[in-house]
A = this chain, B = another copy of it.
Amino acid sequence: MNSELSSQQVKDIGEQGLLERLQRFCPPEIIGDDAAVLETAPGQSLVVTTDVLVEDVHFSKLTTSPEDAGWRAAAANLSDLAAMGASPLGITVGLGLPGEVKVSWVERLYQGMTECLQKYNTPIVGGDIVRSPVTTLAITAFGQVNPSQIIRRSAAVVGDAIVVTGVHGASRAGLELLLHPELGEQLNDVEKTALIRAHQRPQPRLDVLPILWKIFDSQSKIPNLKSKISVAGMDSSDGLADAILQICRASGVGAVLERRQIPLPKTFKHWLTEDQALEYALYGGEDFELVLCLPYSLASAFVQHLGEGTAIVGSITSGSTVLLHDEQKKFPDQVLSLSQGFQHFGQ
């Protein structure tokens, strides 16, 4: 019976059958109409973001478990909400599936998605399941934000500190270890597992938002300060270098990035060369940390509250150049330019 169930394919039970199987992942009151109804709190703005993931472009069934694919897809969308300063309200899931996909694969995908979503009290509020020659996952996430707390890429100003909410490079290192296990010979199992986990189960940084606003509130006792402050930022899903370059371009400013201030996983020190470590940290991507620009006094308090891994990594300057600087002068200054890493079509 068990082996029969586990070999069942999507085409055996059809769209309706699959929908019924997946209903246990959604709140029951939301199922069964043409659309889902959600409540937004009074005075809040609605924030919407959407992502499409295609098999063998964004994930592989050979190297990624369905639970991890689901977790990562949910985490990426929640991270986009965090990057806007928004709290999640729900997501919709559009699924394109070949008839030959196992029902158990789809259930495990939903299991991974809901494990991530439940951590942030976010329901799956609707979706669509259709036949497709290639497995495709289209997620749209909605959140709400107090209009005065929207974090935009375009709000960085000269003199702002650039803060990152965690280490960078871990996700890329974890991916390399999955693809080439022989690279990890100098690492022990705990170290390897931690890096692989960073890749498979990234954490969207919704948790830092209440801390950020608490610090703003405490600083706002200084008269007229609060109204002048805004936070610029985005997430580092496409890499730390990309995030800083995007913020600078949108804000019409430049930046100096201190290469020795970028928080790295501790294991990098005895495992990678300085250049390799920096490469992973700047261009690796998928760390899903927040990169925020805010006044130095607030940035210091914020970093102190968040603790290890968080750091001020540089500052916003006039002009349009993003410079990578070495305070120890071991490396010459280097100008960063927009990575072409997200240009998928040329391949």
B-contacting residues of A (Cβ < 8 Å)?
10-11, 13-16, 18, 32-40, 42-43, 45-54, 56-58, 79-81, 83-84, 86, 89-90, 92-97, 99, 125-134, 136, 138, 140-143, 145, 147, 150, 152-154, 234-235, 250, 342-347
Across the two chains, which residue of chain B brings its CB closest to A44? B40
Known: A34-B80, A40-B45, A132-B134; 8 extra A-B contacts, CB below 8 A, are A34-B84, A34-B235, A35-B49, A36-B47, A36-B48, A42-B43, A46-B46, A136-B138
Q: How far is the CA of A231 from the CA of B86 in the complex (A)?
A: 34
> How many Å lie between the Cα of A78 and that of B99 in the bound state?
29
Q: Which residues of B contact A235 (CB under 8 A)?
A: 34
Closest residue on chain B to residue A145 by CB atoms: B37
| Distance in Å: Cβ of A99 to nearest Cβ of chain B | 5
Which of chain B's residues has its CB closest to A46's CB?
B38
Chain B: CB-nearest residue to A38: B46
Q: Is there an interface contact between A57 and B130, defined as CB atoms closer than 8 Å?
A: yes
Contact A345 B99, beta carbon cutoff 8 Å: yes
Contacts known (A140-B140, A150-B37); A50 close to B127, Cβ less than 8 A: yes
Closest-CB distance, A77 to chain B (whole angstroms): 9
Query: A34-B83, A46-B38 in contact; A345/B10 too (CB < 8 A)?
Result: yes
**In the complex the two chains form, what is the Cα distance from A50 to B157 in whole Å?**
38
Residues of B within 8 A of A250 (CB): 32
In the bound complex, how far is the Cα of B147 from the Cα of A126, in angstroms? 18
Given contacts A51-B94, A343-B16, A344-B15, contact A81 B35 (CB under 8 A): yes
Question: Is B52 a contact partner of A15 (Cβ separation < 8 A)?
Answer: no
What chain B residues lie within 8 Å of A58 (beta carbons)?
130
With a CB–CB cut-off of 8 A, which chain B residues contact A97? 345
CA–CA, A81 to B126, complex, Å?
13
